Structure 1
């Protein structure tokens, strides 16, 4: 035997005496000393391949970025004005020419305008709460009536133009 199992402790000073005892409760036992046994030290237990992952890891020290610096209020106001300027120009020009939209509230065009408004509400809802996948799903569902309402609106506008000629 090359090395004894780990469960058998090694002999440190005196050897182990191996004795054969044969007997019963009626007769006196027969004792035969067979030999002295020296048990060498056993192999160290093999290291489990995952043992390294079961030790405590070093503590992770988090470092947080400093707070983001906001630009001065004047710069924010200037860029806000730059974004809103085209809308102001558009509304000013519309007020100057006073566009007529007599067909906007006709029964064949109102469904199309309503579905376009629903798309705008959906985009606002996305900005507030929804996830992109939800917007794509709702947008795909909303696109079906929008296509049919848009086709109907274009047909009615075409018919009105043909009647005017």
Structure 2
């Protein structure tokens, strides 16, 4: 059975990592908007921002997505947990789909291979942070800690 830790002691670290990634996405989107202002929405130009290729559509999506994920990171409840898990899946799927259409006319977000790699890394980071930032009642965390202590004391584990 799958288990997601509740009230993990390193939860603030994981939320900080998710927040930093969200800030990078937001900054990338804002700088991308400035760089691609006046271009067509799905142009395939050679605009590079913070090491990644972009166009106006990708910059707009990045601003919106960065704000949404940043909101989820700042929110104290399990909303951030669920948003990080969803963001991880979205980034991984987007990276894989865009890699499959990289050299075709379907590359509407103007991805490059470096953008695909960063998307996959961000997806893994969001999944990891989503797995460890679940919040629950303190009683549930105490029971979980007792179970963890009792199973780690058994030989062979």
> After TM superposition, is the score higher than 0.5?
no
Specify the TM-score bucket, using the shorter chain as the normaliser: under 0.3
Which structure dedicates a bigger proportion of its chain to strand? Answer: 1
Kindly indicate which of the two structures has a greater share of residues assigned to helix.
2
